[in-house]
Structure 1
Amino acid sequence: MSSFIVAILLVGSLSWGPLSHAKDSYLDSINGEADDITVDSAVSLDASGQPQGAEAPSIPKDLDIAGFEELLRSRYIGSYMFYNKLSDGDKTSVYDEYLSSKDIESIRKKIISLFSSH
């Protein structure tokens, strides 16, 4: 019986070798890909953590509310998902923010602020 256990252990240990080698090959390929990644240092952050030298994403001016909602749905789906859960009054408030600022970051903050307050 003990030779049977030894045989099982021997076969089991032999089967781990290729698996271990496959893991090493996979990790080597991932590491190789990571080595190829470069950082674009052309954009640096200012004191507030905002990018310098990069323009904020532009959004179209003077959309009606349907156009504004389509813009959110097509380009900012995460913000749209929260926006879509707001009341009609809160949606109007977000649209008013769009009309006054035309800045997607302030619009996103408004959406999250209104969503979080409920």
Structure 2
Amino acid sequence: MKYMLLIYQDEIALTETEREECYKESIQLAHDLKANGQYLAASPLQPTALATRVRVREGKQLITDGPFAETREQLGGYYLVDVNDLDEAIRIAVRIPMARKGTVEIRPVIEIQGLPTA
């Protein structure tokens, strides 16, 4: 089963040194998951200041700069994994470095037939 592990954090919670260490740990985790056949994708996201929101209402495009919601924690990255069950996804989530300072939300992925594959 595929799970999306969404990483939420305060964008200013880490120093540059802490951020680099977090990236190193995250890269190692991705390699470990790849070796176990669980890795599908992972990536940090650029800051919310670079976000753009798109909505279509009554046929009109509404384009807005900034994040979807103003909150203390922002979506900062993700892992997409293929594991046997939720318990296995939880075991991976607790290994994500930002779980120590932020929050990791685990969401099952709906697999729709007919979508292109990588």
Q: TM-score range by the shorter chain?
A: under 0.3
- TM-score normalized by structure 1? 0.21
Structure with higher strand content: 2
Max Rg structure: 1
- TM-score normalized by structure 2? 0.21
Q: Which of the pair has the greater relative contact order for Cα pairs under 8 Å at 6+ separation?
A: 2
Structure with higher helix content: 1
